[in-house]
Amino acid sequence: MIVTKLTRTLGITVPVVQGGMQWVGLPKLVAGVSEAGGLGILTALTQPSPDALRDAIRKTKTLTKKPFGVNITILPTINPPDYEGYARAAVGEGIRIFETAGNNPGPLIKFFKSEGCFVIHKCTTIRHAKSAARMGVDFLSIDGLECAGHPGEEDIGGLVLLARAAQELNIPYIASGGFADARGLVSALALGAEGVNMGTRFMCTEEAEIHPNIKQKIIDSSEQDTVHIFRTLHNTARVFKNKVSQEVVRLERRPGGAKFEELRDLVSGQRGRVVYENGDPDYGIWRYESQGLVLCSDDAHHCIPACSAGIAMGLIKDAPSCEVLLRRIETEAETIIAGLSKLVVTSEKARL
């Protein structure tokens, strides 16, 4: 067993957190991850209302008695969701673990801490991580360029970003972006993290309620099958490379670029959601971070692209149950760590 501050604090047995995935972080998957020893995360904004979130929490509790949390991400929308309502609904249902992300999380964090909750906040820069630490979060989730969804605008890969976190942060953190296997977990621990956050990897599990065609598409794809969109709008997002995302990139690369109004229909969240229902990988933009893309005047749920995949796709070769996946990661990580310890020898042995 691998024991870290994350496992000890949350009462889990494997230091792996399931990312808060739009349209994917549903009760069956969440319970599957938690039952397997990790931390499952329900995505609040997948649910159309706070009352619907209450129902999802209750359903999850019928599937597992182990700890799980709720993700609430603040969207850059003109007509924002009822964040306070979602937060109060989750706390009212007994949830005490939250993953937050997005802009201006202060009010949410303050509320959660006033209720005695444990908060993990996701950041893509060290300066934002320090700001969240000052707000009182318990853990940070440090998200490198390799991630699906929003990597920020500074293009810093996880190898350097996590090492910088070890230098600069005074609260514990987990590693996000590009993690899918035991080697990734061990590398994150070596870089000072207390565990990892995985999103794309959990899409390819039996419990993920998405079309089998999409799971197979991820398995068949490589680390080269993603693309960044919205670069020109300074809201970069890594999404699956398909006909729709490539058209978005083409429009952005025109002289003068593209305005969001020209891209709105292409990146529609509802269109992306259908990808998981009909199994057509080219129907819409698919990505998993529940961080909206840019300002949108519509209902926020219609502006959130559905799930995508990060470059961790190149590491995914199957779609096992969450139990099989986490047991494999745990066992292989223990073997790797034991093997690394053999690299350290006394000077006398080294001469032999």
* Predicted confidence (pLDDT) per residue in 102-119, tens digit: 888 999 999 999 999 999
How many domains does the chain fold into? 2
Same structural domain for residues 183 and 328? Answer: yes
Which range has the worst mean pLDDT, 86-90, 101-105, 136-140, 265-269? Answer: 265-269
Do residues 47 and 92 share a domain?
yes
Q: What is the CATH number of the domain that holds 146?
A: 3.20.20.70
Residue 20's CB is within 10 A of a number of other CB atoms, namely 32
Cα dist from 113 to 39, 89, 97, whole Å: 19, 15, 10
Q: Within this chain, do residues 185 and 102 fall inside the same structural domain, yes or no? A: yes
| Residue 230, pLDDT score | 84
**C-alpha separations of 270 from 44, 70, 146, 197, 200 in Å:** 16, 22, 25, 25, 20
185 and 67 in a common domain: yes
Tell whether the model's pLDDT for residue 295 goes beyond 70: no
Q: pLDDT at residue 189 above 60?
A: yes
Q: Which domain holds residue 84?
A: 5-209+318-340
Q: Across residues 225-242, what is the average pLDDT?
A: 82
Q: How confident is the model at residue 283 (pLDDT cuts 50, 70, 90)?
A: low
pLDDT at 79: 79
At residue 38, the pLDDT reads 98
Instruction: With cut-offs at 50, 70 and 90, classify the pLDDT of residue 60.
Output: very high
Range of weakest confidence among 201-215, 221-235, 270-284, 309-323 = 270-284
Mean of the per-residue pLDDT values for the chain? 87
pLDDT tens profile 25-49: 999 999 999 999 999 999 999 999 9
Residue 306 has pLDDT above 70, yes or no: no
Q: In terms of domains, do 200 and 236 share one?
A: no
Residue with tokens 């000890």: 8
Contact 9, 96 (CB under 8 A): no
Structure tokens given for 105: 């999380």
Confidence of residue 223 (pLDDT cuts 50, 70, 90): confident
Decide: 72 and 105 in contact? Cβ < 8 Å.
Answer: no
DSSP calls for 274-314 = HHHHH--TTSS-B--B----S--SS-GGGTS-B----GGGG
Alpha helix (H) residue ranges in the chain: 5-10, 27-35, 50-63, 83-92, 106-114, 126-134, 158-168, 182-190, 200-203, 212-220, 243-252, 260-263, 269-278, 322-341, 347-351
Shared-domain flag, residues 187 and 219? no
Mean pLDDT of 159-167: 95
Position 291 in a domain: yes
120 and 196 share a domain?
yes
Residue scoring higher pLDDT (226 or 57): 57
Q: Which long-range contacts (CB under 8 A, 24 or more apart) does 78-85 make?
A: 78/295, 78/296, 78/297, 79/296, 79/297, 79/298, 79/299, 79/300, 80/300, 81/45, 81/300, 81/301, 82/49, 82/50, 83/107, 83/108, 84/111, 85/49, 85/50
Residue with tokens 């229909």: 265
Residue 349 lies in a domain: no
Dihedral pair phi/psi, residue 120, rounded to 5°: -110, 125
* Structural domain includes residue 186: yes
pLDDT at 92: 98
- State residue 349's pLDDT score: 64
Percent of the chain with pLDDT over 70: 88
Looking at the predicted structure, is the pLDDT value of residue 296 above 50?
no
- The whole-number pLDDT of residue 302 equals 38
User: Which pLDDT does position 308 carry in this prediction?
Assistant: 60
Spatial strand order of the sheet with 16-18 comes to 16-18, 196-198, 173-176, 139-143, 118-123, 97-102, 68-74, 40-43
Note whether residue 346 is domain-resident. Answer: no
**Is the pLDDT at 136 greater than 80, yes or no?**
yes
| Within a domain: 350 | no
